[in-house]
Amino acid sequence: MKQGLSEILVSESVYDSVSRIPYKGYVVIKDGMITETGKGAVPARLRDSGIPMSDYGHGTICAGLGDTHTFFAGYVMDSLGVDLSEIKTLKELKGIIEDELSTKEGGSVLFGNHLSGALISDPETSGLLDELGEYKEVSIILFATGHGTCAMNKIAQRRFEFDPDHCYSEAMHKIMPCYLTDRDFIIPQFKKYMKLLNSRGVTSVKEMGFDDYYGFTDVLKEMEDSGELTVRICFMSQPVGRSMDLEYGKRMREKFTSDFVKFSGFNQMTDGLILKKQGHLLEPYEGTDTICEKQIDYEGIEKDVLEADRQGFRFTLHSEGDGAFRRILDIYDKCQKEDGKLLNRHGITDLELTDPEDEQRMARLGVFGEIYAQVYLLDTWKGYVDGYRAVIGDRQKRYLNYRSLTDHGVCLCGATDLPLLIPSLPEAVFYGCANYGSDRGKRINPDNGITVEEMVYAWTYGSQYAMEQESILGTLETGKQADIVIFDGDLFHTPMEKILDVKVVRTLVKGKEVYQDL
């Protein structure tokens, strides 16, 4: 990692997240800190100072980006075990599994990845895995690309308590200790993960770790102490296999106190997908009497939130439907306040369908909102318009209404739910500001988009506000740490049809260069 001691960064497009308007200017960094910023030409005293100067023309310079909802433990599952992407037949699969089993001890686990859908769904595959794993009592789990489906033997099903019909992260949490503490595997994978984030201009993330993160916090501590982290990590505990553990939270709060790793509180799910009628709505789904087909333990969630709040911990809760949105705000309204605002900085993520009056209450309470602006790339105009109209009618017009949330004063922050989406500020602009779908044809809900300036603000200051790091990060100001990203184009004046061509050319974390596009 190249050390940058002193440098002057110059551009026609500096966005400092303070004035909220891009300008021609410069940023001076020294020993990891921003020591000066200015509008207009670089003064003679700086030009003559001997400090190296880098002029990026019309390339945008802004504060390092923060992704407030990432899931490394899920992302890395796509790299587990042997690569099966070239396997076409059961005979080939049998051969490679036998080779792998020859090096396995009894009671161990054999993972495979990228197996074809045809072999995943073939009943003979499961029978083969049962036969091969039996003599050593080895658990075998073979994932398709994206680990949304799998083939597994009965030994694995008994040991990890899930099956191919329930192949999703929360169900598979019992396999996570098998790889999160395997240092030979997990440390190189985490370095690759950080490199990916840095290449997208991301310098801070809020990571979701199930339960007690299954020992991965020791890996984080080791990498923090050795100076190997190129991304700042705020991690949350999401109770999945056990109840919320406040004592664990207290230990983590004491264990991590630097600017690079912090315990950020707790995260929980509430309702589910609107298209599956599992989103909790205020009014029934079209043509039905139901407001939600999922049972939600709001009383249990409220108990956890209030207890965590009393102990000084923060919470984020997921909200898909406007009914869940209201119930979450009802819970937060019972938390400790000071001058009408929450004492502890709680948040809501997803925010797919929100009610305008509740948006105002969200702003009054000081609850931040995590938005997945890139989510529109997952479906077409027809899917997001016709598909949602079929289940929620005219309420589709309020779907992902970032404009209304912003106008009502809610602090929004950038997020991806990685690995659902991979961070990209140009993509967030294209899909979240212009509201195009994956077909890039008609705009979906054009009145719901926010401006480019507002989107960049969400990914810079807004995200650091959500991670309680806005005093040291999130803006280009004198005295702030030099987490900075530079793009090769002007994010604010590039035509929308060309915005996806804009790339990150350089990323700095505390003045150190962690990525450069060569």
Is 117 in contact with 88 (CB distance < 8 Å)? no
Is 358 in contact with 329 (CB distance < 8 Å)? yes
- Tell me the pLDDT of the chain averaged across its residues: 95
Average of pLDDT values for 452-466?
A: 98
Average of pLDDT values for 292-321?
A: 98
Average of pLDDT values for 477-498?
A: 97
For the cut 70, the answer to whether the pLDDT of residue 245 exceeds it is yes
Give pLDDT tens digits for 267-277: 999 999 999 99
Give pLDDT tens digits for 378-397: 999 999 999 999 999 999 99
Average of pLDDT values for 72-100?
A: 94
For the cut 70, the answer to whether the pLDDT of residue 2 exceeds it is no
In 2-156, beta strands by DSSP E: 2-3, 6-15, 23-30, 33-39, 53-55, 60-63, 65-70, 82-83, 109-113, 139-143, 150-152
Residue type, 482: A
pLDDT at 134: 84
Q: Which of 102-116, 314-328, 376-390 has the lowest mean pLDDT?
A: 102-116
Host H or E run for residue 413: strand 412-414
Give pLDDT tens digits for 112-156: 999 999 999 999 999 999 998 887 899 999 999 888 899 999 999
What is the Cα–Cα distance from 41 to 441, expressed in whole angstroms?
Answer: 41
Average of pLDDT values for 221-242?
A: 96
Q: Could you tell me the CA-to-CA distances from 323 to 224, 279, 351 in Å, in that order?
A: 41, 8, 11
Is 388 in contact with 399 (CB distance < 8 Å)? yes
253 or 5, greater pLDDT: 253
Sequence-separated (6 or more) residues with CB below 8 Å from residue 228? 191
Structure tokens at 367: 């609850």
In 10 A of CB 43, how many CB atoms? 12
pLDDT at 146: 84
pLDDT band at 333 (very low <50, low <70, confident <90, very high): very high
Give pLDDT tens digits for 24-45: 999 999 999 999 999 999 999 9
Is 111 in contact with 93 (CB distance < 8 Å)? no
Is 105 in contact with 139 (CB distance < 8 Å)? no
In 10 A of CB 326, how many CB atoms? 18
For the cut 60, the answer to whether the pLDDT of residue 159 exceeds it is yes
CA angle 339, 340, 342 (to 5 degrees): 100
For helices 216-225 and 246-255, what crossing angle results, to 10°?
Answer: 10
Give pLDDT tens digits for 179-222: 999 999 999 999 999 999 999 999 999 999 999 999 999 999 99
pLDDT at 4: 54
Radius of gyration of the chain (CA): 24
Residue 459 DSSP label: I
pLDDT band at 415 (very low <50, low <70, confident <90, very high): very high
What is the Cα–Cα distance from 492 to 457, expressed in whole angstroms?
Answer: 12
H-helix segments, 15-104:
44-47, 72-75, 90-101
Give pLDDT tens digits for 334-382: 999 999 999 999 999 999 999 999 999 999 999 999 999 999 999 999 9
Is 467 in contact with 20 (CB distance < 8 Å)? no
For the cut 90, the answer to whether the pLDDT of residue 104 exceeds it is no
Sequence-separated (6 or more) residues with CB below 8 Å from residue 347? 68, 314, 315, 316, 317, 367, 368, 369, 370, 413, 466
pLDDT at 1: 40
What is the Cα–Cα distance from 398 to 337, expressed in whole angstroms?
Answer: 30
